[in-house]
A = this chain, B = another copy of it.
Amino acid sequence: MIPWALEVEYDGTGFMGWQRQKHGLAVQQVMEEAGAKLCGGSIPAAVASGRTDAGVHALGQIVQMDLPDFSPHRLREALNYHMKPHPVVVLRAAPAPAGWSARFSATWRSYRYIISNRPAFPALELNRVWHVRQPLDEAAMHRAAQQLLGHHDFSSFRASACQAKSPLRTLDELSVTREGEHLIIHAKARSFLHHQVRNMVGSLKMVGEGVWPESRVAEVLAAQNRAVAGPTAPAGGLYFVSVGYEVPLFETYKAGEQK
């Protein structure tokens, strides 16, 4: 058994989120059970770079697991075989660097949030986007988003269940762009509070609808009070995109060899 770093994609719709729960299936459980089948016995708990909530998707979640000393190709194929038919797949695998932690070594995490902004319900995007019927002003939303950049107390955008010791976070990027009927919100920070991205999106939507002036977002931030912020955007529109580490994880392999 050696420690592995795994790049993982999943459809969060049917899961209770990343972390094991008493009631309902979690992505962690799917991965650990596949790993146990590989080893013919139980394995230590899998650790993820970010604990996504129920319904939140991942395009590049990074997971740390102790698994057999296979080739990266064989390890990926074997895990994917045992995770079927759950919508969880390993995209790339590599032996973890010494002393590396999927969670604590991360220097940044990035998320994408997708809003479908059109009158009709998006028939092909159920649980993949937040459907907002009213036309949104993406330029106003983007300007308002810039008020949140930097080192702040994000209590106004923090879930009451958040277990972080401090509400202080440094938000590095928060952009809003339109691609046709879709609004794409990109967020990047070393780490986020529980529900922080979804709560920031919910407030930006208030600006986009014209219900709030752009300046309101800075006031909400300054209030350090969750009650004054906008609604929590639905989980299905959120994608955990990627994680940065100082040590490269998969780059020792030729481009295209694994992907």
Contact = CB atoms under 8 A, between A and B. Distances in A.
16 contacts: A9-B123, A10-B124, A11-B126, A76-B119, A76-B120, A80-B120, A80-B121, A84-B121, A87-B126, A88-B123, A89-B122, A89-B123, A90-B120, A124-B128, A135-B256, A181-B259
Contacts of A87: 123-124, 126
Interface residues of A, number: 28
Contacts of A9: 120, 122-124
A22 to B, nearest CB: 25
Given A76-B120, A89-B120, 12 more contacts: A9-B120, A9-B123, A9-B124, A10-B123, A11-B124, A77-B119, A80-B120, A87-B123, A87-B124, A87-B126, A89-B122, A91-B120
A259 B123 contact: no
A57 interface: yes
Nearest to A256: B135
A21 interface: no
A51 interface: no
A88 B124 CA distance: 9
Contacts of A11: 123-124, 126
Interface string A241-259: 0000000000000001011
A57 B123 CA distance: 10
A216 interface: no
Contacts of A10: 123-124
A155 to B, nearest CB: 33
Contacts of A122: 9, 89
Interface in A117-140: 118-124, 126, 128, 135
Contacts of A90: 120
* Most chain B CB inside 10 Å of its own CB: which residue of A10, A119, A256: A119
A119 B88 contact: no
